[in-house]
A and B are shown apart, each in its own frame.
Chain A
Amino acid sequence: MKLGLCYTVISPENKMLLEAAEKRGVEFVRIVDGESVLQLSGKPKEELDVLLQRSVSYSRGLCLAYYYEKSGCQVINSYQAAKVCGDKMLSSLELASAGVPTPKTNVCFSPEAAMDAAEDIGFPIVMKPVMGSWARMVNRLNDHEALSMAVGCKEEMGNPWQKIYYLQEHIDKPGRDIRAFVVGEEVVAAIYRNCTKESGWVSNASRGGHPTECAVTSELSELCLRASKIAGEGIYGVDLMESGNGLVVHEINHTAEFKSCASATGIDIAGSIIDYAVSRAKS
């Protein structure tokens, strides 16, 4: 059994995975995406049973997942999972189609249509890039004027992906959201990500959100597993908010960070991931 770990840099999570694999005596190959040469008419240099695809770069991750899948290797998470989770429009569409409670979201492609899309939802709204993470360029916009200014800034950007306007209903969350960690068919841990002075209204750990343990109730577990099905079985960080009408899922992360979740809950998430990857290799 040979396991690969593909990464851009050694993040704390990747280091935990390497240590967990070593502890279990799992044969392990490191694949640094920036150093990789994909010979399209040949096979990958290393024959792997399972590849844990954890590139922090979405574009590289997609290329590598597709390439290794084509070679017959099981990739966790799959190309299809990465495609759906890494594009907020696709994931919101899939969540809504699957009947998973999710904030109302409209997508459009011009400043004029963005005004109509926002009117349809009602202010305040949240505008996010369809691709991107860590709450970068995520804005809460209270009125037409704020939206007009934010749209004006995006129109000046060179990247055409930034001109896809993803507008979402603002959920009046209780100063926190929930990150649940799904490994295979199980929710292994969950945390509240509490807003702080540093993080402001967003609660991402990378922005200074403070993690505290959240009980994995049957309601939370059932909803997370249902939501993650839109991407197929794998390893996901599911983000939820507590709305007046119950839990809503707003995001599914396919290369989820888990350092905060592991430290707040004491759960060995890296160990669970390696055990799961080994079980997939045997299946």
Chain B
Amino acid sequence: MGNAECPECAGILSLAPNTEAGEIMSCPDCGARLEVRSVNPPQLAAAPKVEEDWGE
């Protein structure tokens, strides 16, 4: 899948081959919660804030 840069700390994350756009992951370097914006090219952004009405 390739590598993507963490928008918070510029660390490099390696994306697994089955990564999906919209997936949430954590940066192993700074711990930031990130959302995969696109897989081709691999691109990350800060994950959406957890809202008060979020849940299961």
Stretch at the interface among A5-13, A65-73, A166-174, A221-229: A5-13
Residue A92 at the chain B interface, CB threshold 8 Å = no
Please determine whether A9 and B22 come into contact, CB atoms closer than 8 angstroms: yes
- Does A18 sit at the interface, judged by CB under 8 A? yes
Determine whether A58 belongs to the interface, using a CB cutoff of 8 Å to chain B: yes
A8-B55 CB under 8 A given contacts A15-B23, A18-B20? no
Tell me which residues across on chain B come within 8 A of A10, comparing CB atoms.
20-24, 36
Contact B47 A58 (CB under 8 A): no
For chain A, which range describes its interface: under 10, 10 to 19, 20 to 34, or 35 or more residues? 20 to 34
* Nearest-CB residue, chain A, relative to B48: A9
Taking CB atoms, residues of chain B closer than 8 Å to A18 are: 20
Looking across the interface, which residue of chain B has its beta carbon closest to that of A133? B55
Bound complex: CA A134 to CA B52 (Å): 11
Given contacts A10-B23, A15-B23, A32-B22, are A256 and B56 in contact (CB under 8 A)? yes
B53 near A132 with CB under 8 A, answer: yes
Question: Is there an interface contact between A59 and B22, defined as CB atoms closer than 8 Å?
Answer: no
CB-based A-B contact count at 8 angstroms: 56
Contact A133 B51 (CB under 8 A): no
- Whether A9 lies near B53 (C-beta < 8 A) is no
B56 and A257: CB pair below 8 A? yes
Q: Which residues of A contact B54 (CB under 8 A)?
A: 8, 56-58, 133
* B22 contacts across to A, CB distance below 8 A: 7, 9-10, 30, 32
Asked if A131 is at the interface (CB within 8 A of a chain B CB), the reply is: yes
B54 to chain A, nearest CB (A): 5
- Option from B18, B47, B55, B56 in Cβ contact (under 8 Å) with A9: B47
Q: What mask results when residues 129 to 147 of chain A are scored 1 for a CB within 8 Å of chain B, else 0?
A: 0011110100000000000
A-B contact list, 13 entries, CB within 8 Å: A8-B54, A9-B24, A9-B35, A10-B20, A10-B22, A10-B23, A15-B18, A18-B20, A30-B22, A56-B54, A57-B53, A59-B53, A131-B52
Query: Chain B interface (Cβ within 8 Å of chain A)?
Result: 18, 20-24, 35-36, 47-48, 51-56
